[in-house]
């Protein structure tokens, strides 16, 4: 039995804050591995300057390369269409029935969990691992989840250093011809430059 974390997102592109989040979750929650799981189509927003799900999947593979704790899950991209967490967790549960699943999300995202598709089922299928960042206080998040779901599900918290890097900032820097080295891994940088992404 393994403890498997799932870090979902658009990853447009994946950057060092994503990797630090995955690394901190793995270390603090004693996860055996963390799956970077890029969405195919985000159900609530249209990604800007999207090079396509297949390209974002490849960028995730490059970002995760070289870290034995990280892997990439292509389930949502292969399935196609809008990506809903509950569908992904159901499929992962079928594929890995003996593993403990931990769904990793930021405190800002955890506040909105009640608006997700079948949030109670999400809590049944996986432990929630909430990254604490500035503006997302543990007590407030725990209280919000209790109000919405009672004692359903299990929630763990882990500390996440404040890193003000976003995919939108990286896309903007690329479009402006500014450097992004050290904000993404060298392999991701090489792919972005060679393929002319985000220009």
pLDDT at position 136 is 55
DSSP secondary structure letter of residue 22: H
The share of the chain scoring above pLDDT 90, in percent, equals 73
- Dihedral (Cα; 15, 16, 19, 25), 10-degree rounding: -130
Query: Is 109 a residue whose pLDDT tops 90?
Result: no
Rounded to 5 degrees, what angle do the CA atoms 75, 13, 51 make? Answer: 75
How far is residue 42's CA from residue 52's CA, in Å, rounded to a whole number?
Answer: 12
pTM of full prediction above 0.85: yes
Task: Provide the residue range defining the domain that includes 72.
Answer: 3-195
Domain containing residue 100: CATH number: 3.40.50.620
Structural domains counted in the chain: 1
How far is residue 6's CA from residue 21's CA, in Å, rounded to a whole number?
Answer: 11
How far is residue 51's CA from residue 198's CA, in Å, rounded to a whole number?
Answer: 8
Stretch 123-148: mean pLDDT:
80
**For 25-34, what is each residue's pLDDT tens digit?**
999 999 999 9
How far is residue 196's CA from residue 192's CA, in Å, rounded to a whole number?
Answer: 6
- Dihedral (Cα; 84, 90, 94, 96), 10-degree rounding: 80
pLDDT at position 168 is 94
């Amino acid at each position: 039995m393994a403890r498997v974390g799932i870090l979902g997102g658009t990853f447009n592109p994946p950057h060092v804050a994503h990797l630090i989040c995955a690394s901190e979750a793995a270390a603090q929650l004693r996860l055996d591995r963390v799956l970077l799981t890029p969405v195919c189509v985000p159900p609530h927003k249209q990604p800007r300057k999207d090079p396509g799900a297949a390209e974002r999947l490849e960028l995730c593979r490059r970002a995760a390369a070289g870290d034995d704790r990280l892997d990439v899950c292509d389930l949502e991209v292969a399935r196609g269409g809008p990506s809903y967490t509950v569908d992904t967790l159901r499929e992962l549960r079928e594929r890995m029935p003996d593993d403990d699943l931990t769904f990793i999300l930021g405190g800002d995202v955890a506040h909105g969990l009640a608006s997700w598709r079948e949030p109670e089922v999400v809590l049944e299928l996986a432990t929630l691992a909430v990254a604490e960042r500035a503006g997302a206080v543990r007590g407030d998040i725990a209280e919000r989840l209790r109000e919405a779901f009672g004692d359903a599900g299990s929630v763990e918290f882990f500390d996440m250093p404040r890193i003000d890097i976003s995919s939108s900032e990286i896309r903007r820097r690329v479009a402006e011809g500014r450097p992004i080295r050290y904000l993404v891994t060298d392999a991701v940088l090489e792919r972005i430059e060679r393929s002319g992404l985000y220009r």
